[in-house]
Amino acid sequence: MVLIQYHLDLKIRYNSVSMGITEDIFGTFCDPDIGEKEVKRYTLTCKSGIEVQVISYGAGVSAVLVPDKLGNKEHVTLGFDDIKGYEKFGYQGSSVGRRANRICKGKITIDGQTYQLNINNNDNHLHGGKRGWDKYIWESCITDGSVVFSRLSPDGEEGYPGDVLAQVKYSLDDDGSLHIDFEAMTTKATPICMTNHCFFNLAGHCCGQKGLFEHVVKVNADRFTPVSKDLIPTGELAPVGGTAYDLRSPITFGEVLPKAPGQGFDHNFCLHQVRRGELGFAARFHHPPTGRVLEVYTSEPGVQIYTGNFIPKEKGKMVGRNGSSYTYQASFCCEPQNFPDAVNQPNFPLDIYRPGQPYKHSMMYKFSVEK
């Protein structure tokens, strides 16, 4: 009841209009529980020429347009022309939760009680389960300079304990910094870990593997969490030195990906000197031919670097914006978050939140052009 009243208060509190944001309807989603519902789209622009679109389906980023060093604008995230694409191909730009990343066997134990979460990734739980938060329409509204999405996740959803009220706020600064602020509160002890799941290619969304391999990447991490064959952390915090995961100095994806064991990167990096709760530098990506730069900042202790390893290699299997074909290792994700499976790893940072203990995560994508 407390969370429901807080939800109503939020909707009243943010019922205002910002002159810097426009709103339209992106499409209609047929919710299996409540039927058809409109998907709202909001467009944020700034003086540096960057444009960001966010939608109420999955509280996600549907488009980011960034000029290159010649002033030519291009989409730098994968995306779709209509809502059907987002329904078919999960996590594209979405806010993921209740718990981002993987939980081993979908089992969590809190205060001596074991809960079985829904299994949706081999034998494990991924990104909130079969119907995570990325697959719902969120309530939305505009406040000065920001778009705010909110959703009430009921007790027992996907097996998780507790009602959780979650909020995602998007703000775009004139210097090209997209701030994403996550907040949540719960009625029972439960894991909470939220992040954004954009797929980037700074060369342009349709530029394929060649464009990805041209990116120069730097990650502010001196350790990483090794994983099993099912990509579940072993519990070790291993030094990156002498491994393919040493991204402390700038290196191209083209140089480092062939050295990465398995299919590529889908690993958590432990950030160096980033204090939890304070915004700190996580990673930098630069595409020299266009000059486009993305810097990522977070208040969480880790960042998952993923290189699109599970997108099909065959063209035409995943058709995106303007009929573009998105393929294997043609994009990357940089997902700030707590370490995967932290609820089952006693040496990983806190993963359980309790009534009266709000969850907060601030992250930032900063776009710029290096001429």
pLDDT tens readout for residues 299-341: 999 999 999 999 999 999 999 999 999 999 999 999 999 999 9
pTM of the model as a whole: 0.95
User: What is the model's pLDDT at position 44?
Assistant: 97
Position 371 scores a pLDDT of 86
Task: List the strands of the sheet with 333-337, edge to edge.
Answer: 238-239, 221-224, 266-271, 302-306, 333-337
| C-beta separation of 127 from 134 below 8 A | yes
Please report, for the chain, how many H helices and E strands are present, in that order: 4, 27
Mean pLDDT value across residues 256-261: 92
Residue type, 213: F
**Per-residue pLDDT at 275:** 87
pLDDT in tens, 141-178: 999 889 999 999 999 999 999 999 999 999 999 999 99
pLDDT in tens, 78-104: 999 999 999 999 999 999 999 999 999
The domain that holds 64 is classified in CATH as: 2.70.98.10
Q: Are 158 and 190 in contact (CB under 8 A)?
A: no
Whether 233 and 284 have beta carbons less than 8 Å apart is answered as no
* pLDDT confidence band for 8 (50 / 70 / 90): very low
The span from the CA of 147 to the CA of 217, in Å, is 30
Closest CA to 343 of 224, 233, 208: 233
Q: Cite the active site residues.
A: 197, 335
**Cα maximum dimension of the chain:** 59
The encoded tokens of residue 98 equal 């209740």
Instruction: Report the DSSP pairing between strands 21-31 and 35-45.
Output: antiparallel
Residue 7's pLDDT is what? 52
**Binding residue numbers:** 101-102, 266
How far apart (Å, rounded) are the C-alpha atoms in residues 232 and 239?
18
- Is the pLDDT confidence value at 282 over 90? yes
Cα–Cα–Cα angle for 247, 299, 217, nearest 5°? 20
Q: What is the pLDDT of residue 239?
A: 98
* HSE of 326, CA atoms in CB hemisphere, 13 A: 25
Annotated binding site for beta-D-galactose: 101-102, 266
Q: What average pLDDT does the chain have?
A: 94
Residue linked to tokens 């063209």: 315
Residue 206 pLDDT class (50, 70, 90 cuts): very high
Report how far apart, in Å, the C-alpha atoms of 26 and of each of 15, 43, 370 are: 20, 11, 33
Say yes or no to pLDDT of 34 above 90: no
- Token look-up 């486009």 returns 292
Question: What percent of the chain stands above pLDDT 90?
Answer: 91
pLDDT of residue 242: 95
Q: How confident is the model at residue 3 (pLDDT cuts 50, 70, 90)?
A: low
Quote the pLDDT of residue 104: 98
Contact 197, 92 (CB under 8 A): yes
Structural domain tally of the chain?
1
**Domain span including residue 97:** 2-369
In three-state secondary structure terms, 158 is helix
